[in-house]
């Protein structure tokens, strides 16, 4: 299956889940044998109705579920090129989070200055040199297209920014640590249309540097920005294909029903 996919798509796999099951502490199984690859320098979008497990899947990639006792994974997520199974017990979740960063649904800057927000990831990595920090903060803010708007008020509180700016700040924070994969959990669902366009353009620029996995409720958004799309339903992966293919000629009836709005 995996081998055939490698042939099917001419892109390098950055990470892939293998028979991933996930159980919440109360015993609910949220993921069932999910096999899904994330390709290097591509955007992979996860779509599906509420409760289909797409956020659960995304949050497995940086072991967010480990923060809450009782959650359990089965199966693997392999990160290439080093073939690390990031779900393995012996792999520290912190190590995983240092390689794979995340942007959340609601902008969640720390109640600190703009500068400190971006620098935080570097600080927990032990970076103390003021010049290095300054440079990396500037670079990350430029990478998140926020530099021009905030360069004169880097030491203002992050809360004084607008919602869209706050979300770009969160992207800058996730970007500053030079992650290999960036996870987006419905990053524009709390934003207005203009801010949404900004974030979408930004993601298209970001994929030059890293791989992106995004969960979205908005099918048009998936169609606009992603290279690959995966449709999930009730914890299972129904279909995974090139975005153009999924939206023009899905191979499964369920996918077509969902995309055309007959369902979901």
Partner 1 sequence: MAQQGKAKSLKDLNEIRSLIKKHKKNDFLFAATGMFVIASLTITLIILFLDLIIDGYPKFNLDFFSNYPSRRAARAGILSAWIGSSLVLLVTFFVAVPLGIAAGVYLEEYAKKNWFADLIEINVSNLAGVPSIIYGLLALGLFVYTFDLGQSILTAGLTLALLMLPIVIVSTREAIRAIPIHIREAAFAVGATRWHVVLHHVIPYAYGGILTGVIIGMARAIGETAPVITIGALTFIAFLPPSPIMPEVPFINFEWLDSGFTVLPIQMFNWISRPQHAFHINAAATGAVIIILTALMNGAAIKLRYNVRKKIKW
Binding residues for partner 1, rule: CB under 8 A, are 62, 64, 67, 69, 94, 97-98, 101-102, 104, 106, 108-111, 120-121, 123-125, 157, 159, 170, 173-174, 177
- The three-state secondary structure class of 201 is helix
Q: Under a CB-based contact definition with an 8 Å cutoff, are residues 152 and 69 in contact?
A: no
Q: Would you say 62 or 216 has its CB closer to partner 1?
A: 62
Q: Under a CB-based contact definition with an 8 Å cutoff, are residues 169 and 118 in contact?
A: yes
With tokens 């203002």, the residue in question is: 156
With tokens 């905030």, the residue in question is: 150
Cα–Cα–Cα angle for 58, 202, 214, nearest 5°?
A: 15
Q: Would you say 191 or 246 has its CB closer to partner 1?
A: 191
CB of 172 to partner 1, least distance (A): 11
CB of 214 to partner 1, least distance (A): 15
Q: Would you say 27 or 261 has its CB closer to partner 1?
A: 27
- The three-state secondary structure class of 168 is helix
CB of 165 to partner 1, least distance (A): 15
Q: Would you say 127 or 138 has its CB closer to partner 1?
A: 127
Q: Would you say 62 or 71 has its CB closer to partner 1?
A: 62
CB of 119 to partner 1, least distance (A): 10
CB of 26 to partner 1, least distance (A): 14
d(CA 22, CA 72): 6
- The three-state secondary structure class of 81 is coil
Partner residues linked to 113 by β-bridges: 157
């Amino acid at each position: 299956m995996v081998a055939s996919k490698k042939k099917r798509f001419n892109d390098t796999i950055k990470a892939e889940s293998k028979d991933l099951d996930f159980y919440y502490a109360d015993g609910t199984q949220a993921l069932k044998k999910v096999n899904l690859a994330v390709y290097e320098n591509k955007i992979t979008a996860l779509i599906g109705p509420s409760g289909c497990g797409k956020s659960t899947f995304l949050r497995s990639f940086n072991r967010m579920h480990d923060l809450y006792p009782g959650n359990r994974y089965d199966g693997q997520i392999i990160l290439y090129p080093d073939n690390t199974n990031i779900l393995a017990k012996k792999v520290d979740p912190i190590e995983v989070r240092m390689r794979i960063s995340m942007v959340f649904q609601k902008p969640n800057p720390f109640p600190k200055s703009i500068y400190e927000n971006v620098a935080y990831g570097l600080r927990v990595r032990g970076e103390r040199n003021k010049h290095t920090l300054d440079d990396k903060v500037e670079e990350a803010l430029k990478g998140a297209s926020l530099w021009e708007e905030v360069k004169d008020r880097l030491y203002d509180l992050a809360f004084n920014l607008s919602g869209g700016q706050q979300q770009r700040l969160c992207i800058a924070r996730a970007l500053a640590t030079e992650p290999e994969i960036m996870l987006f959990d419905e990053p524009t669902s709390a934003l207005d249309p203009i801010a949404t366009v900004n974030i979408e353009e930004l993601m298209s620029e970001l994929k030059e540097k890293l791989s992106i996995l995004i969960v979205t409720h908005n099918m048009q958004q998936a169609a606009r920005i992603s290279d690959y799309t995966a449709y999930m339903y009730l914890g299972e992966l129904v279909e995974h294909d090139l975005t153009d293919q999924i939206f023009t000629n899905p191979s499964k009836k369920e996918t077509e029903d969902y995309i055309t709005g007959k369902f979901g």
